[in-house]
Structure 1
């Protein structure tokens, strides 16, 4: 059975009509920015939306945003690390300063302890007493009788000593007499720090002067045989005053100050 095309129906669009339709479809695409919203048969052969370059721009935009976010995060992390580092450095400086302060305080305390110990040792040294002749012995005792003494008895003690033997101050004090003492020959009298007096007679030479301070064991002269003597020795007296006649037992005096005689 043969079919015939009805007159005026289903004719193929002319060239001008197709072109116009194509133009309208493109215009619709350009105006709306949405691909495929206009159903135009003539656009069926146009490139797919993904081929227009719009997706590429969106992807590139996302990548840049991610890079910016990553950079911002890295900067934030770096700032946090720097802050932590700065805080640690500050704490380290504070700790070092505190340690240095403690060390200075400890050093100062050690110096103070050392100074106190030195002062205590010096006080002990100045308060110490020694024998007037090192390694000697008493050859004539206190209150020994005889015609050789004008008072009828010995007012001190004699320490055995050859001429020229060093004579020492038995303790700390101040020299109140240094020179010729009559029967005592060359003699030295010292006012001790405890208020008593000590005398050293028959010296061959004198090594101190009046007003001079002396310390325990300091050499004040040399033993000899000047004055009223029968031979070289040291006459030693302990007195309550600087004057003759105020003598006290010199052995008991030295022993009361820790000297072994």
Structure 2
């Protein structure tokens, strides 16, 4: 009787089956971490090399970041410094411009004040000139005094003073005023009467010629005629009177009058 081997569990595994089982076992060991624990030195070294390389790269990146940050910070500080310098320069330029403008304003104010002072001085000088009094004949002197007695005068005394003057000598207004009489005056010959700006009157007699007319304004020292010997006169001279009115008989001391107005007689 022939013996037949039973199939199934009593059959030896084939070579392919054994290889498959070995591979499955290795996979299982890998899953449980045994292979990792018993890895060869070469594999461990490779792992450490990778770790070291990774650490060095990180350090390099950190170093680059620090350098870049320092450069950015330095650049920011430089820009800030430049901005501060520019701002200070701008402020200094503004201060200089303001100082220049202020100096110009003060100079203009001083110039204006000087011009105003000069104008005031000129006006004062003009007023002084207009209000100043002069001798009726420049450089002359009195030859016959006020109230001198004698038969030459109808009133018995001299109503004015006589100033030495050759015929044709310039006769001027002793002060500023207005002509109220200009013509023949009887015993006074050709005569002029002025109403002075202070309200008094002055009279100029025995003139050889008259250079003004009634109503005309005259300034102090202005020529109004020429001396002579017209009228009741014994020779060329100027008869000068100071009066309170334009009429004869309101006379006052001519020398005292002129001296009161600052004229040396």
Shorter-chain TM-score bucket reads 0.7 to 0.9
Look up the match of 1:49.
Answer: 53
Structure 1 residues 41 and 253: CA distance shift in structure 2, 3 A: closer
Matched, 1:114 2:118: yes
Structure 1 residues 45 and 247: CA distance shift in structure 2, 3 A: closer
Which of the residues 207, 211, 215 maps onto 1:211? 215
After superposition, give the CA deviation of every residue in 1:156-206 in whole Å (9 maximum; x if it has no partner): 111111111111111122222222323322222111122110011122222
Structure 1 residues 207 and 56: CA distance shift in structure 2, 3 A: farther
Structure 1 residues 61 and 39: CA distance shift in structure 2, 3 A: farther
Q: What secondary structure, in the 3-state scheme, does the structure 1 residue paired with 2:232 have?
A: coil
Look up the match of 2:21.
Answer: none
Look up the match of 2:241.
Answer: 237
Which of the residues 187, 190, 193 maps onto 1:186? 190
| Separation of aligned partners in 1, 2:44 and 2:226 | 143
Matched, 1:167 2:171: yes
The number of residue pairs the alignment matches comes to: 224
Matched, 1:75 2:58: no
Q: What secondary structure, in the 3-state scheme, does the structure 2 residue paired with 1:144 have?
A: coil
- Structure-2-length-normalised TM-score: 0.71
Structure 2 unaligned blocks of 5 or more? 1-41
Structure 1 residues 139 and 42: CA distance shift in structure 2, 3 A: closer
Which of the residues 157, 177, 184 maps onto 2:181? 177
| Separation of aligned partners in 1, 2:263 and 2:49 | 133
| Separation of aligned partners in 1, 2:129 and 2:257 | 18
Matched, 1:131 2:131: no
Q: What secondary structure, in the 3-state scheme, does the structure 1 residue paired with 2:111 have?
A: helix
Structure 1 unaligned blocks of 5 or more? 1-37
**Over the residues paired in the alignment, what is the CA RMSD in angstroms?**
3.0
| Separation of aligned partners in 2, 1:179 and 1:57 | 124
| Residue 76 (structure 1) shift | 0.9
- Structure-1-length-normalised TM-score: 0.72
After superposition, give the CA deviation of every residue in 1:77-113 in whole Å (9 maximum; x if it has no partner): 1111111122222222233333333333333333343
Q: What secondary structure, in the 3-state scheme, does the structure 2 residue paired with 1:258 have?
A: coil
Q: Map of 1:82-101 to 2, 5 A cutoff?
A: 82-101=86-105
Structure 1 residues 150 and 66: CA distance shift in structure 2, 3 A: same
Matched, 1:197 2:201: yes
Look up the match of 2:23.
Answer: none
Q: What secondary structure, in the 3-state scheme, does the structure 2 residue paired with 1:119 have?
A: helix
